[in-house]
Structure formats: structure tokens, C-alpha cells
Amino acid sequence: MFDSISNFIGSGTGVNSRQLIADLLAASREPKEAVLRSREQANSLKISALASASSSLDTFATALSDLLDGRAFAGNLVSSNPSLATVNFIDGARPQGLPATLEITQLASSRRLASGVVADGNVSLGAGTMTINTGSGNFNVTLVNGADSLNDLAKAINESGSGVSASIVTDASGARLVLEGEEGAGNNFTVTGDFADYNYPAGGGGMNLISDAADALVKIDGIDLRFGSNSIENAIAGVAINLNAAAPGTQITISGDQPTKTISALVGEFVDAYNQLRTALNGATAPGGEDGSAGPLSGDSGVREMVRALSQIGATALVDNGPYRALSDIGVKTNRDGTLSIDKDRLDKVLAANPEAVSNMLDPLTADSNNPGIAGVLQSIRDRLQGDDGALEASQNRLEQIKENLLEARNKLDEDSAQYETQLRRTFANMDRQLAVLQATQSYLTQQIAVWNGDND
């Protein structure tokens, strides 16, 4: 019996307390650590997958909105002679009636008057009043002594609100006051009063007519038209024309070049992008089973709502009137897995019959809640899901809360492990003391037995 006790204790106390404590700690912590680590990894994967799904939806909606700006199928406007006329789109309008011909017979001009010459702009004119007479009324410009120079007169005219602008032109001969009205025959003006004839000591001579006000005269597709400005809008529907020079007899062609996107190509690109998003969602939400593991977002309510909303996009009304109102009307079909496909024969048929109606359905000129177009519908889905009360936002908040709970659980595990280690150290310290006592007792008994047996000669 005593031999077996001796073998157990060995030298000293004979117990490797440090290793025993480490082994007991590991046996207690590692199963809990493994469960916690697995839950943390799964939740982290869900957070990453959810962020990716939400970001993909946002990118898709934004890219489609940027592409469709009300003129996705119009191409670029082109003037055959930009030196005579340049052309631009009108916001919110799609050009119609192109190509068209333009002939500029006369530019719109403004009435311009110039005064006689004085020494410089600081020459005093004396106190007095000039009256500018326009189609909008009479505007009095008054100078007082001490602020009565040619420069003061020009400043007062510019501040009068008459629509007539004043400037000082200076050359080697001296300074002149130049008055200019707005373009168009309806914007003629006259000046009367104290300074109309410039009967001031250093000069005199009155105002000289440089040019008179006139309308722009043009022909569009052979039709004579008159405009009060050289900037013309909607003479050709949806087109803004800037007249640069008159050239009677010269024909300018205004047209649209090859559109950067055709309707058919845009539908194809939309379907391809949608299918990439939907296929990724299908994988992320896969339920799992014998043939494979579940996707990271399997069962997630936010992504489930996202999938449901996207599944309805093919049948959602994009406009409230017209022969085609939904993607399904032009041949876009929903497959069993939620992806989309195109019935090319159907799409070609509707494009041949009424391309303008298809274009307006996909990209309304004036988008609103009743006529959102494809970009508006996708934006609505995104905003609803990502809003403060949206399903994706709720899922994100739930996963973040789980992340916080797991962090608290890990902190609790660390605290429990530290307490258990303290307890083990205390227990083994007591055990070491007891073993030391036992060892001393064994040594004493061994000596006594030797005496009893007569071994201590």
C-alpha cells in the first residue's frame, strides 16, 4: 500500500498542478468556445451577405436611374453647321420630328444707341433726369450734383430695371455711353430728358442709332417663323436651337445621331443585370438539404421580402396608360427560379408596332408615382426595403443585435473561465498542501516501520 502511495506522489508533491489546471480549463471552455465561435462566424457571414445584397440592389437601382434620363433612346442632337446654329436637348422632353431643316434669314437683334464723345467717363454731366421708354413703361434715371458723371449715368441705367443695359466704350477720342436693349422687335426703347441729347459743356451731339431691334426670321422645314430671340425652344419638339449667324439660302440639317442605347438592347441589359442579382439571392437564400448546405441568408425575413418584391417586377405597372404597361406586355417573362427571360419574337413585334409606347413605358418623360418607369419601380423597391422601417434595415438591426449579444456571451465566457481558473488554483494549492502533509506522514511511518522491523541498526 505504501509503495503505491509513494509512486503516486513521486518526488516533492509529485503533482503537475499547472498542467492539470490548463487541461481542466480547456475541457471546460473549449466546447463553449466552439459553439460561440460557430455562431459568431455564421452571424458575420450573414451580415456580410446581407450588406452585399443591399449594396447590389442599390447599385442596380442607381445605375439604371443614371442610364434612363428621359432621353435614353434619343442619341445626341447634331447640327450640320454649328457655326450657324447649335442644338441641345430640352430638359424633360424627347425630340420629335427629326431630321428637320433650318434656314436662318435674319438674326434677332437689339436696339443699340451710342452717345457723342466726351473726354472720359468721369466728366460731369450735371444734375438731371433721363427717361427710358420701353414696352414695359417709363423708367426715370436721375443724377444729382456730385454723382453726375458719365460713369454714374451708366450705373444708374443698369440699376433702373428697364431692361436696357449701359456700358462705357473708350478709345483714343474719348468715352461714349452705349445703351442696348433686349433682343426682339418688341423690345425697342427710346430715351428722353435732360441727357437724351447730351448737351453738356464738354461734348454734345446726341445719341446715334447703331442698330434697331428686330426678330429672328427662320424657316423650319420650309415654314416661315418669327422669334424674338436667337435662343429658340420647341420650334422642333424637344429641341433647343441657338442661332449664331444668318445665312439666307443655306440649309442646315438638325438630326439625332445613332442612339447610344436601343430599346431592345436596354431591355436585354436590364434582364441580364436583374438575373445576376436574382441568381446571387437564390444562392444566398438556398434552404439546403441533402444536396448542399443552406445559404447564409436562408430564412432571413428581410431578404425574403426583397426576393418577393423583385419577383413582382415583371407584372408591375410602369405607366398608367398606353398599349404596354408592364414588362410582361413586351415579352419579359418570369422563370420558375425568379429570373427573367425575353420572348424575342414578342419584343420585336411590339417594337415594330409602337416603339414610342415601349420607350415611354420604360422611361416616361415625366416620371411620377403613377408613371414610375422601370427605374422608378426599382428605386421604390430599394427605398422601401432600405428605409428606416424597411425589411432590410430590420434584418440588419437584428443581426447587429445578435453580434452584440455574442460579444456579451464571449465576455461572460472569459469572466467565467477566469473565475474557474481562480477556483482551480485555490483547490490545487490546498491539494498540494495536503499532499505535502501526507508525504511527511508517509516518511515518518516509513521510519517507524523500519525501527519496528529492526532495520535501523
Indicate if the pLDDT at residue 2 is higher than 50.
no
Distance CA 94, CA 196 (A): 49
Indicate if the pLDDT at residue 5 is higher than 50.
no
Among 87-96, 131-140, 196-205, 354-363, the range with the most confident prediction by mean pLDDT is 131-140
Which residues have CB under 8 Å from 20's CB, separation 6+?
A: 424, 428
Indicate if the pLDDT at residue 449 is higher than 90.
no
Pairing state between β 174-180 and 165-171: antiparallel
Distance CA 212, CA 180 (A): 10
Bigger pLDDT: 150 vs 3: 150
Indicate if the pLDDT at residue 345 is higher than 70.
yes
pLDDT score, position 69: 60
What average pLDDT score do residues 324-352 get? 93
What average pLDDT score do residues 239-247 get? 95
pLDDT score, position 73: 58
Residue 60 in grid coordinates: 442596380
Instruction: Determine contact, residues 427/419, Cβ cutoff 8 Å.
Output: no
What average pLDDT score do residues 283-304 get? 82
pLDDT score, position 200: 37
3-state helix, strand, coil in the chain (%, to 5): 45, 20, 35
Which one-letter amino acid corresponds to residue 375? A
pLDDT score, position 71: 57
Distance CA 71, CA 140 (A): 48
Indicate if the pLDDT at residue 211 is higher than 90.
no
Bigger pLDDT: 210 vs 250: 250
Bigger pLDDT: 196 vs 224: 224
pLDDT score, position 201: 34
Indicate if the pLDDT at residue 456 is higher than 80.
no
Among 233-237, 260-264, 285-289, 364-368, the range with the most confident prediction by mean pLDDT is 233-237
Question: What are residue 192's DSSP bridge partners?
Answer: 131
Indicate if the pLDDT at residue 7 is higher than 50.
no
CA distances from 400 to 37, 48, 297, 306, 405 (A): 16, 11, 14, 19, 9
Bigger pLDDT: 437 vs 400: 400
Tell me the domain boundaries of the chain.
Answer: 1-73+260-457, 77-107+216-256, 112-211
What average pLDDT score do residues 378-383 get? 92
Which residues have CB under 8 Å from 435's CB, separation 6+?
A: 9, 13, 14, 15
Q: What percent of the chain has pLDDT over 70?
A: 90
Backbone angles phi, psi at 105, to 5 degrees: -85, -40
What average pLDDT score do residues 54-64 get? 88
Taking alpha carbons only, the member of 398, 287, 358, 345 closest to residue 72 is: 358
Q: Phi/psi class of residue 302: alpha, beta or left (left: φ > 0; alpha: ψ in -120 to 50)?
A: alpha
pLDDT score, position 3: 43
Query: How do residues 273-282 score in pLDDT, each as one tens digit?
Result: 999 999 999 9
What average pLDDT score do residues 197-208 get? 50
Query: How do residues 92-105 score in pLDDT, each as one tens digit?
Result: 677 878 889 999 99
Backbone angles phi, psi at 130, to 5 degrees: -105, 140
Helical (H) or strand (E) element with 274? helix 263-284
In this prediction, residue 251 has a pLDDT band, given cuts at 50, 70 and 90, of very high
Q: What percent of the chain has pLDDT over 90?
A: 42
Place of cell 440588419: 396
What average pLDDT score do residues 96-118 get? 90
Distance CA 405, CA 424 (A): 28
pLDDT score, position 72: 56
CA distances from 237 to 92, 94, 304, 399, 425 (A): 11, 8, 46, 54, 90
Backbone angles phi, psi at 101, to 5 degrees: -105, 145
Indicate if the pLDDT at residue 404 is higher than 50.
yes
DSSP E strands: which ranges in 172-271? 174-180, 189-193, 208-211, 216-220, 223-227, 231-233, 239-243, 252-256
**CATH number 2.60.40 given to 112-211:** yes
Distance CA 193, CA 141 (A): 9
What average pLDDT score do residues 48-54 get? 90
Average pLDDT, the chain: 85
CA distances from 290 to 5, 287, 293, 313, 440 (A): 56, 10, 8, 32, 65
pTM value?
A: 0.59
Residue 337 in grid coordinates: 427560379
Taking alpha carbons only, the member of 373, 431, 363 closest to residue 74 is: 363
Which one-letter amino acid corresponds to residue 250? T
pLDDT score, position 291: 63
Distance CA 323, CA 446 (A): 111
